[in-house]
Amino acid sequence: MEPLANWITDFGDSAVLLPIAAACFFALLSWQPRRTAFAWAVAIGLCGMSMILLKLGMHACGQVIVSDGTITSPSGHTALSTTVYGALTVLLVGSLDRLWPRLGAALLGILAVGAIAFSRILVLAHTPQEVMVGLVVGLACVGVFALGHQGGRLAKPRLAQLGLIVVVALVFLHGQRANAESVLIQLAHLLRGNISACG
């Protein structure tokens, strides 16, 4: 079970998702309407900033959200994968005409996000509560994207191009790891020693 969980969890690493997010942004930016590209950038940026602030704040201040200490570092894998795969699902579902393909696309997106979220628990990287925080952040960012996107539709050739970008990136990048958590922890320790904002 653990090798499978590690294989799944690598689909949510920032070393995989950030290049995909950047490639999708530039593809969307080259198409009309451009509001979709800007909504994409806002959603990804909001997710990244939210998780950085949450992680830095909790590590720097040595605080937890709940009394039993089950939330010390919200799941960035879960938040970013929910945002990226969730926003792609919004694009796909909104651009399909028939009910069953739309339901299938929605189910595929939910399964992808759910599998990555659950894998973070299985590999003992996060508690269920930390994963839930990541899900909430990610879903909020997907909501921001959906509002900014305003239900615009992509033509099938453009959907195919976007799908090709994602698939090729996943094939070549899967297994890469950014180790962003350790960098944030080191930065948090520096902040803890130099900033008295924790009260």
Mean pLDDT by 10 residues, the chain (199 residues): 90 94 95 91 95 77 58 89 97 91 95 97 92 96 94 84 94 87 63 54
Domain range for residue 28?
Answer: 2-190
Q: Could you report the per-residue pLDDT of 95-140, keeping only the tens digit for each?
A: 988 999 999 999 999 999 999 999 999 998 889 999 999 999 999 9
Q: Domain for residue 27, yes or no?
A: yes
Q: Is residue 196 part of a domain?
A: no
State how far the Cα of 121 lies from the Cα of 128, in Å rounded to an integer: 6
**199: in domain:** no
Task: Tell me if 24 is assigned to some domain.
Answer: yes
Tokens 């590690």, located at residue: 6
Q: Based on the structure, what is the number of domains in the chain? A: 1
Closest CA to 19 of 110, 84, 105, 116: 84
Q: What is the pLDDT of residue 112?
A: 97
